[in-house]
Structure 1
């Protein structure tokens, strides 16, 4: 492997780690990223970190402002609509062909249990992260590594759109029991019903996020 390829691989790994933080809700829309702090946390050089920033900026997850630094991107209304369009195409299709004994179904169940535990503790970030794992497991049903890589970017953008809501309980709490209902349909072999339920679920979630975006624009 050449030095150039090694550097690129490191930058890609770093970009993946930062993307994971976005998906976990640890980084918020509009937040400024400190090169010094992140390079120390990740134990990498600033040059490597800058290359990771470049990759994530290309993906639309970060943006650079001259003389100010690098910031976490804030989703637009158009991007939110597109994210949900992609989610319906990918997730609902994956559920339609779901097999009850697929390993990803077990991960869906684990995510549901984690969400309920966090719900009882009123740990809304934890609920949101468990919810993201649930939907990631749905995508895993398709058995496509390329689709998983693609969805990782969508998931990061999605979590940023969630950051627009001032009340995380309102966003996450109603969907915890719905996740369990979808899981139970899959376990019962009712894949088409599970997909239909998820489609309605995603439409409801999209309306909530778009309404939050509209309010954030009004108060800006």
Structure 2
């Protein structure tokens, strides 16, 4: 792994953790000093993350964190349904990644009690990464981390975290319960319903915020 690859992984994780707001400008000098890397390495990282849709380069204005559009939301959820539902349908409730899902869900429920919306968002991402981990595919996991980072930017674009995140915790609980109790096919159908409802909720929030 090159320095730019390692830095891209780090910045991607920070986006998933909600540390960068959509539209915020990234200072080349500040980040190169913070991570003790050359500006050339940082620029390579910027290019890689821009290709993944996480950063946007505007000539004469520098690099900023992407702000996903409604079209991006539709495509993100299309990708999620394809990857997550297919993965769950082909897995089994005894897979070790189920414990990863359960741990993430427990953490989300703890954050919900404290109304820690940023923490809930991170735990939600971890739960769905656990679903993809059912695939035992490092390539799918790498791809999904990019999707998870874009999805986090979607949620950060909106300003109603309670309405967005609170229902998802209960939905994740239902998905896990159905998957473990009734099997992969039933779990995948429950997951598909959840993702469709989530997409409608997010698109509705975008419409109310007048974001295209």
TM-score band, normalised by shorter chain = over 0.9
Kindly state the Cα deviation for residue 132 of structure 1 after the two structures are TM-superposed: 0.3
Kindly state the Cα deviation for residue 116 of structure 1 after the two structures are TM-superposed: 0.7
Runs of 4+ in structure 1 displaced over 4 angstroms? none
Kindly state the Cα deviation for residue 13 of structure 1 after the two structures are TM-superposed: 1.2
Asked if 1:109 is matched to 2:102, the reply is: yes
Asked if 1:80 is matched to 2:73, the reply is: yes
1:33 pairs with one of 22, 26, 30:
26
Comparing 104-113 and 27-36, the one that deviates more? 27-36
Kindly state the Cα deviation for residue 189 of structure 1 after the two structures are TM-superposed: 4.5
Asked if 1:197 is matched to 2:178, the reply is: no
Q: Distance in 2 between matches of 1:168 and 1:208?
A: 12
Kindly state the Cα deviation for residue 183 of structure 1 after the two structures are TM-superposed: 1.2
Structure 1: runs of 5 or more not aligned = 1-5
**Paired residues, number:** 212
Kindly state the Cα deviation for residue 142 of structure 1 after the two structures are TM-superposed: 0.9
Q: Counterpart of 1:188 in 2: which secondary structure?
A: helix
Q: Is the 8 A contact 1:112 1:180 kept in 2?
A: yes
1:125-144 correspondence to structure 2 within 5 Å: 125-144=118-137
Q: Is the 8 A contact 2:92 2:183 kept in 1?
A: no
Q: Counterpart of 1:118 in 2: which secondary structure?
A: helix
Q: Is the 8 A contact 1:164 1:209 kept in 2?
A: no
Asked if 1:186 is matched to 2:194, the reply is: no
The aligned counterpart of 2:45 is 52
Q: Distance in 1 between matches of 2:40 and 2:129?
A: 31
Note the alpha carbon deviations across 1:183-218, whole angstroms, 9 max, x for none: 122222522111111111111111121122223336
Comparing 39-48 and 114-123, the one that deviates more? 39-48
| TM-score normalised over the length of structure 1 | 0.91
Q: Distance in 1 between matches of 2:126 and 2:182?
A: 21
